[in-house]
């Protein structure tokens, strides 16, 4: 199997999972099954690396951290209070998510968690203008 | 034609916006040419933000997670790297592309024009969902624009995961449904929304529905503005619920987010349908029935349809 074909299958499965249409565990099993068919030995390693990345993201601990970080983000975005209160709450949210990211040593999981901070920072910057800081 | 391969990190950073404009076909980028190291400290106050497209049109990046990997990438240009290093480069590049997509704007508008609207939960959700979905799916095109696979051989063999699990499924579903009304696939609808600011994204979505339901008819000239506001509000009611999905497990988050995207579309269409019913009583306009489209090929070239390198792909199934 050409590596590109594996990569297309991987992306399609990942996308199906994100749309709630694909069971990730089943998809990973299927993907693991085709790795030996990849012609290039070096790229077989890359395929295994990608599969392990996805599996790591699905681990109960990783999911718990992501769900907790998302709850923190939602609380930080609460549509209430004056500008100063909103900025403080958003910054607290960014701190909270950053703290969650430090609970794992997996740099890619950290990256996924920290990505949640961007809209909070954008929103804080908008409200900060009203505070006059 | 791709840009010339940047020889250095500094050259790439100077041209970062051009790649986003070229891939997407946007009118322009609002970036003012300045990028800075994110002022948040990693350890002092516990804040870390990977990137941000400021309302002052300055882009700010995290030193550790974004700037350092990209500097390393150019420092070791052309050398083979292990998969983890390649993914680290790619994730850093994804942040740069994402922030530059945020800064795309339609003619006569700028990124900062949407600052007040960004305070609305539904506007934020669509802005982040569209930007992340489109950016994730067209990152290889951004790589191609700069020929970065020559700088980091194998960077297109690895792939990360899109962020914003709450927002991307809804944005993709809305794009799919809108495409059904406008003979466009999901990726093209994402593109049309990605190339305008956060306010403009809703104008695109609303405009597709309004046009398809005959609100361009001169008999609605007086009402079109109000009708579009009603359509937008109907969709906002649903997108505004997306942040609250945070209490759910991942599978439920994804499926509920998709459901919200679809419900928003249906509600917007229902409002437009009220006007359409009246237009039929006037003497008729074209039926707003679904024009077949599809999801668009996952790995299709993300640029506009006129892109010569766009690859055809079969429509994917609906979620």
**ipTM entry:** 0.96
Picking from A42, A58, A74, the residue at the C-terminal end of a domain is A58
Q: Collect all residues with Cβ–Cβ distance below 8 Å to A55 and sequence separation of at least 6.
A: A28
Percent of chain A with pLDDT over 70: 98
Q: How many CB pairs under 8 A join A and B?
A: 155
Residues A126 and A78 in one domain: yes
Residues A28 and A71 in one domain: no
pLDDT at residue number B11? 97
The reply to whether residue A67 touches residue B157, judged by beta carbons under 8 angstroms, is no
Sequential DSSP letters for B84-146: HHHHHHHHHHHHHHHHHHHTEE-TT--GGGGTTGGGSHHHHHHHHHHHHHHHHHTHHHHHHHT
pLDDT at residue number B281? 63
pLDDT digits (tens, 9 = 90+) for B286-311: 556 544 335 554 333 333 332 323 33
Segments of chain B with pLDDT less than 50: 42-43, 290-293, 297-319
The reply to whether residue B159 touches residue A14, judged by beta carbons under 8 angstroms, is yes
Q: Which residues of B touch A115 (CB under 8 A)?
A: 50, 95, 163-164
Residues A7 and A49 in one domain: yes
Residues A24 and A72 in one domain: no
Measured CA to CA, the distance from residue B91 to residue B69 in angstroms comes to: 9
pLDDT at residue A31 greater than cutoff 60: yes
The reply to whether residue B119 touches residue A98, judged by beta carbons under 8 angstroms, is no
Domain coordinates in residue numbering, chain B = 9-157, 168-282
Residues A40 and A76 in one domain: no
pLDDT digits (tens, 9 = 90+) for B54-106: 999 999 999 999 999 999 999 999 999 999 999 999 999 999 999 999 999 99
Residues A123 and A68 in one domain: yes
Between A3-18 and A41-58, two packed helices, what is the crossing angle to 10 degrees? 10
Residues A115 and A70 in one domain: yes
Number of domains in chain A: 2
CB-nearest to B55 from A19, A116, A125 is A125
**Bridge partners (DSSP) listed for residue B59:** B35, B53
Measured CA to CA, the distance from residue B117 to residue B123 in angstroms comes to: 6
**Bridge partners (DSSP) listed for residue B52:** B60
pLDDT at residue number B47? 72
Residues A65 and A111 in one domain: yes
Q: Which of B59, B60, B135, B160 to mutate to test the interface with A (most CBs of A within 10 A)?
A: B160
Residues A26 and A42 in one domain: yes
Residues A15 and A43 in one domain: yes
pLDDT at residue number B290? 47
Measured CA to CA, the distance from residue B237 to residue A27 in angstroms comes to: 34
**Exposed (0-12), middle (13-18) or buried (19+): which is B228, by Cβ within 10 Å?**
buried
The reply to whether residue A8 touches residue B246, judged by beta carbons under 8 angstroms, is no
CB-nearest to B49 from A7, A43, A118 is A118
pLDDT digits (tens, 9 = 90+) for A55-90: 999 999 999 999 999 999 999 999 999 999 999 999
C-alpha radius of gyration, chain A, whole number: 19
**Exposed (0-12), middle (13-18) or buried (19+): which is A106, by Cβ within 10 Å?**
middle
Q: Determine the distance from the C-alpha atom of residue B51 to the mean position of all C-alpha atoms in its chain, rounded to a whole number.
A: 16
Domain membership of residue A112 as a residue range: 61-131
Average pLDDT estimate for A82-107: 95
Residues A52 and A77 in one domain: no
Measured CA to CA, the distance from residue A31 to residue A29 in angstroms comes to: 5
The whole-angstrom distance between A12's CA and the closest CA on chain B is 7
Measured CA to CA, the distance from residue A7 to residue B16 in angstroms comes to: 26
The reply to whether residue B48 touches residue A119, judged by beta carbons under 8 angstroms, is no
> Six-digit token pair at A12?
């399609």
Phi, psi of B36, rounded to the nearest 5 degrees:
-135, 165
Q: Is the dihedral of CA B13, B15, B17, B21 positive or negative?
A: negative
Specify the pTM.
0.91
Picking from A58, A87, A103, the residue at the C-terminal end of a domain is A58
Picking from A38, A58, A78, the residue at the C-terminal end of a domain is A58
Residues A108 and A89 in one domain: yes
CA angle B52–A115–B28, rounded 5-degree value: 40
Q: Which residues of B touch A67 (CB under 8 A)?
A: 246-250
């Amino acid at each position: 199997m050409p590596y590109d074909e594996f990569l297309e299958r991987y992306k399609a499965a990942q996308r199906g999972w994100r749309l709630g249409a694909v069971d990730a565990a089943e998809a990973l099993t299927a993907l693991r099954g085709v790795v030996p068919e990849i012609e290039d030995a070096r790229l077989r390693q890359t395929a295994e690396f990608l599969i392990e990345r996805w599996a790591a993201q699905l681990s109960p601990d990783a999911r718990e951290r992501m769900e907790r970080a998302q709850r923190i983000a939602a609380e930080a975005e609460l549509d209430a209070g004056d500008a100063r209160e909103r900025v403080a709450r958003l910054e607290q949210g960014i701190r909270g998510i950053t703290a969650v990211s430090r609970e794992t040593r997996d740099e890619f999981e950290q990256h996924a968690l920290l990505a949640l901070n961007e809209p909070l920072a954008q929103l804080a910057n908008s409200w900060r203008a009203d505070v006059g800081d | 034609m791709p840009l010339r391969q940047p020889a250095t990190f500094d050259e790439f950073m100077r041209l970062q916006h051009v790649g986003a404009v070229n891939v997407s076909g946007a009118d322009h980028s609002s970036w003012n040419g300045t990028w800075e190291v994110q002022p948040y400290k990693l350890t002092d106050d516990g804040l870390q933000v990977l990137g941000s497209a400021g309302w002052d049109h300055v882009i700010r990046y995290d030193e550790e997670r974004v700037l350092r990997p990209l500097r390393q990438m150019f420092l070791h240009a052309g050398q083979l790297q292990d998969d983890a290093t390649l993914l680290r480069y790619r994730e850093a590049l994804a942040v740069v592309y994402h922030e530059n997509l945020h800064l795309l704007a339609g003619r006569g508008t700028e990124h900062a024009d949407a600052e007040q609207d960004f305070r609305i939960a539904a506007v934020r959700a669509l802005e982040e969902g569209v930007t992340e979905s489109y950016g994730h799916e067209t990152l290889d095109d951004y790589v191609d624009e700069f020929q970065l696979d020559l700088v980091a051989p194998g960077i297109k063999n690895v792939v990360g995961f899109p962020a914003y699990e709450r927002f991307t499924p809804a944005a993709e579903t809305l794009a799919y449904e809108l495409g059904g009304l406008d003979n466009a696939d999901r990726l093209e609808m994402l593109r049309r929304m990605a190339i305008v600011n956060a306010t403009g994204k809703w104008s695109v979505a609303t405009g597709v529905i309004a046009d398809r339901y005959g609100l361009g008819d001169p008999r609605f000239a007086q009402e079109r503005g109000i009708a579009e506001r009603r359509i937008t509000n109907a969709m906002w009611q649903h997108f505004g619920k997306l942040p609250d999905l945070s209490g759910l497990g991942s599978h439920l988050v994804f499926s509920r987010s998709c459901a919200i995207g679809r419900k928003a579309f249906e509600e917007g269409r229902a409002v437009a349908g009220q006007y359409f019913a009246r237009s039929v009583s006037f003497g008729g306009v074209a039926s707003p029935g679904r024009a077949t489209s599809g999801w668009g090929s996952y790995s299709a070239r993300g640029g506009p349809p006129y892109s010569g390198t766009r690859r055809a792909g079969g429509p994917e199934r609906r979620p």
